[in-house]
Structure 1
Amino acid sequence: MELVVFHGLIVAHILTGTTGAIAFWVPVIGRKGGTNHARWGRIFAYAMLATGSFAVAMSLMTLADPIGTHPHLEGQFDAAFLRGMFGWMMLHTGILTINLAWYGWLCITNKGRHAANRTWLNLGLQYLVMVAALACAVQGWLIGQPLMIGIAVVGIATGLTNLWFLHKPRVERQDWLKEHIKALVGAGISVYTAFMAFGSVRIFPEMALHPGMWSIPLIVGLAIIIWHRLAVERQARHRRQRLGAVA
């Protein structure tokens, strides 16, 4: 029965993750601020919240019974490895995905109403992701898996930078848009990393810990974030110049 439930979570995780992975590109590539951007952005955010939730559920089951939930990997990896990679690290990435999707969604929903972003849930998710990251790093150190420590750095950085913005007393007009881009593209990096890394354990086990499997989504995602943040800054600069000319 446990395996049936676990497999059901995997199917749901793949379906919602695939939906998010496809929906991700419409707002990224398409016209900003239009109807399609809003519709597909909403689909992406909901899909990421669901995907992250399924990942958390799978990670908790793995922590409780690593071999029972991954019988096909018995003999290839020991229980400590499975508990670390599919338990602690998936717990961290699941919470990170939920964190980024929710934070990014609130940024676009509240826009200039900065104080409205400081809800107990949004603030709590920042501390939760950092606790999960620390647990992931410690477990990675204990079993000698530096990738777990590396991915934990992302969670710590996410929590700290999000808290810095949330508690920032004054924000510029374009700041919420930059945070929206950072968070939701970050969620996209998370889902593609999961496909590349966790998926490889099932299909190409020998590639599971290869840095290339982890670096491709990160490099592409960072390039997207930088490109769009620069575009936001250009628009803000042009807006200030027009206002200056009028004055």
Structure 2
Amino acid sequence: MRRRQLMPWLFNIILVVHVIAGAVALTSCWGSVLTRKGGPAHRRWGKAFTTSIYAASFMALGMGLLSLRWPLAMHPQLTDETLYRGLFGWMMIYLALLTMSMTRYGLQMVANKCNHAANRHWSMVALQIAVLATGTNCFVQGLMLNQPLMIGVSIIGFGTTATYLWYMFKPAPGARDYIPEHLKAMVATGIAAYTAFLSVGLIELFPEHAFNPIIWVLPTVVGVGIIGYFLRTLPGRARAAAKATQSTT
């Protein structure tokens, strides 16, 4: 009983760290989007973004584990233990791993741009398997709890795992194929950060709208627009970079 009473204190400490890291991620992601890709400023903003995302994700993993074990102790204002063990336990654990996966994948695409085989490191594959396993569990729990939100977010993980593994095991990608892979993964991480911000904020301010699908979809719509813009302009950027290189040689 005493341990159960102490758990909310630990949860609140983790939550504070999670919120601070999330706030840094929410602001620094725009620095990465708006600065010249590959330039010093872009790398600095990117480092701040990925570091804060990792911190926020690890804190989310901790909150998910605590909510899984003591769902009502973590959320005393709630009453349905089974429902919130699923939403704040199983789903949060899955989303934390999914965000870590997207972030690591995006970083490794740049780090391994000259060594594609390194993308198949066991830790990269293991992380994709973990996302697939927790996503499948989230999907099953969503069916059992009749929660479309859990079902929907699990499908996102199935899609990212399939596309990431496909590229990781692609025999001979093009010399610049890593660029759209990096872009898509990092913007997807930003989508995850803003989705979490909107949903958690609504839980506190407007609980009746916390699981409104429109709120969860909005960051995705914006993020997909950003991805589409950069993919459409990528060929022109590549030609401009090639001309700049030729003019200096």
TM-score (norm 1): 0.92
Return the letter of the residue paired with 1:131. Answer: A
Deviates more, 1:125-134 or 1:107-116: 107-116
Matched residues, number: 240
Residue 191 (structure 1) aligns with:
193
TM-score (norm 2): 0.91
Of 57, 61, 65, the match for 2:66: 61
Residue 36 (structure 1) aligns with:
41
Residue 168 (structure 1) aligns with:
170
Kept after mapping to 2: 8 A contact 1:186/1:221: yes
Of 88, 91, 102, the match for 1:89: 91
Residue 245 (structure 1) aligns with:
none
Query: What is the alpha-carbon distance in structure 2 between the residues aligned to residue 147 and residue 165 of structure 1?
Result: 28
C-alpha displacement at 1:222, in angstroms?
0.8
C-alpha displacement at 1:62, in angstroms?
0.4
- Deviation per CA, 1:39-81: give whole Å up to 9, x if none: 110111111111111111110110101000011334xxx1122
SS at the partner of 1:209?
coil
Matched, 1:99 2:101: yes
C-alpha displacement at 1:118, in angstroms?
1.4
Unaligned runs of 5+ in 1: 243-247
Residue 2 (structure 1) aligns with:
7
Residue 48 (structure 1) aligns with:
53
Residue 77 (structure 2) aligns with:
72
Percent of residue pairs bearing the same amino acid type: 38
Residue 23 (structure 1) aligns with:
28
Query: What is the alpha-carbon distance in structure 2 between the residues aligned to residue 17 and residue 157 of structure 1?
Result: 24
Structure possessing the higher relative contact order (Cα contacts under 8 Å, 6 or more residues apart): 1
Of 221, 226, 230, the match for 1:224: 226
Deviates more, 1:231-240 or 1:174-183: 231-240
- Deviation per CA, 1:10-57: give whole Å up to 9, x if none: 001111111111110011012222111001101111111111111111
Residue 206 (structure 1) aligns with:
208
Kept after mapping to 2: 8 A contact 1:49/1:102: no
Kept after mapping to 2: 8 A contact 1:174/1:232: no
Unaligned runs of 5+ in 2: 1-5, 245-249
Query: What is the alpha-carbon distance in structure 2 between the residues aligned to residue 32 and residue 137 of structure 1?
Result: 36
C-alpha displacement at 1:241, in angstroms?
10
